[in-house]
């Protein structure tokens, strides 16, 4: 990185978290003072970089300054049909967002929290915003936990969540980018997940159980962050027939991921309603502008998407681990 610092201004994304880092016309994003950017990120949990002249190549270069061990989305739960992420420009760590052509809303969630190992740092880059709507939603899981009522906190302290993934032979090969079942066995061991293999048809069942909340040791705060709502809504879409309309055909096992309580029972509807209601005042909308970059702390901040119209929305995604002390 050049020793020449780029000048910028700051403005808040939301009352509880997040900061917009806006450059002056003609400034280079590569010359932002890295120590200050890291400090801002640790403090605020999400940064939007705006008014810099950024291309997809510049996005890769910039994100690589702060991030390492980029994910190929191995083991991703939504690798089916038009939902699947696709690599961009032959770079298997530069990906499209989930369902890039489907235009539907995506509920708030933590990325890949249906496994123990998940990326800590998420990146989004706007090559072209939607003509209307299509905002990315973000919510501070720390503020979320603090706002939860005591009954909801008690419920999640007493009930862990179980994510269940029934996958056909072809589905797990695509999701995990391998045809070797031993790779799946190793992945499950590394992720504290149980694996059952059907020797007759080659299908598998993966189960991972964890709490809906976690303690962030760096911030010494409790955080509500998980994929409960996105997984729940996907199953409801399968049940209602909406998923079949979007996907064309349903997965071989019906629904490739579902969420239950640890005892196998469904999460009560009243709990889900309270989870959704709690997020309302805490959610910020990222109204995309061409060239924007969004940097998210996946140990703290949930993200999602508003519905939009048209097929012109082009947002790219990267995920990995911080290349700085975190």
Which tops the pLDDT comparison, 100 or 66?
66
Confidence of residue 311 (pLDDT cuts 50, 70, 90): confident
Same domain, 82 and 164: no
Residues 152 and 275 sit within 8 Å (Cβ to Cβ) = yes
- Give the whole-angstrom CA distance, residue 152 versus residue 273: 11
pLDDT at 2: 42
Residue 243: is its pLDDT beyond 90? no
CB burial of residue 26 (10 Å; 0-12, 13-18, 19+) = exposed
Q: What is the residue range of 21's domain?
A: 8-99+112-142+286-322
Same domain, 129 and 164: no
Confidence of residue 286 (pLDDT cuts 50, 70, 90): very high
Same domain, 36 and 128: yes
Same domain, 119 and 22: yes
Is 106 part of a structural domain of the chain? no
Same domain, 222 and 317: no
Split into its structural domains, the chain has a count of: 2
pLDDT mean over 278-293: 95
Same domain, 17 and 131: yes
Of all residues in the chain, the percent with pLDDT exceeding 90 is 83
Same domain, 220 and 138: no
Is 186 part of a structural domain of the chain? yes
Is 104 part of a structural domain of the chain? no
Residue 55: is its pLDDT beyond 90? yes
Is 105 part of a structural domain of the chain? no
pLDDT at 99: 86
User: Any residues with CB less than 8 A from the CB of 261 and at least 6 apart, and which?
Assistant: 159, 160, 161, 162, 267
Is 208 part of a structural domain of the chain? yes
Is 84 part of a structural domain of the chain? yes
Indicate the range of 1-10, 87-96, 97-106, 275-284 predicted with least confidence.
1-10
pLDDT at 4: 63
pLDDT mean over 293-316: 95
- Give the whole-angstrom CA distance, residue 243 versus residue 149: 33
User: What 3-state class would DSSP assign to 289?
Assistant: coil
Same domain, 133 and 22: yes
Find the CATH number of the domain harbouring 195.
3.60.130.10
């Amino acid at each position: 990185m050049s020793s020449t610092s780029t000048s910028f201004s700051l403005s808040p994304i939301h009352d509880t978290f997040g900061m917009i880092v806006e450059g002056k016309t003609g400034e280079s994003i590569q010359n932002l003072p890295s120590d200050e950017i890291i400090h801002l990120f640790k403090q605020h949990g999400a940064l939007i970089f705006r008014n810099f002249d950024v291309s997809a190549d510049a996005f890769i270069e910039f994100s690589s300054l702060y991030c390492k061990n980029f994910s190929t989305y191995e083991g991703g739960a939504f690798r089916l049909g038009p939902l699947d992420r696709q690599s961009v420009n032959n770079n298997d760590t530069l990906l499209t967002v989930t369902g890039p052509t489907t235009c539907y809303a995506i509920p708030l969630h933590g990325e890949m929290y249906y496994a123990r190992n998940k990326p800590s740092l998420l990146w989004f880059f706007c090559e072209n915003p939607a003509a209307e709507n299509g905002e990315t939603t973000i919510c501070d899981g720390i503020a979320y936990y603090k706002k939860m009522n005591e009954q909801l906190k008690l419920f999640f302290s007493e009930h862990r969540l179980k994510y269940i993934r029934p996958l056909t032979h072809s589905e797990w090969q695509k999701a995990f980018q391998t045809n070797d079942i031993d790779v799946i066995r190793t992945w499950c061991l590394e992720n504290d997940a149980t694996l059952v293999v059907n020797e007759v048809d080659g299908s598998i069942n993966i189960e991972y159980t964890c709490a809906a909340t976690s303690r962030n040791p760096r911030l010494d705060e409790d955080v509500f962050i998980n994929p409960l709502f996105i997984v729940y809504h996907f199953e409801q879409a399968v049940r209602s027939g909406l998923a079949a309309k979007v996907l064309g055909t349903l997965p071989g096992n019906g629904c490739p991921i579902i969420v239950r309580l640890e005892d196998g029972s469904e999460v009560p509807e009243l709990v889900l309603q309270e989870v959704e209601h709690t997020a309302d005042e805490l959610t910020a909308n990222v109204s995309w502008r061409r060239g924007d970059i969004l940097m998210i702390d996946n140990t703290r901040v949930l993200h999602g998407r508003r519905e939009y119209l048209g097929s012109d929305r082009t947002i790219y995604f990267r995920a990995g681990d911080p290349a700085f002390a975190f």
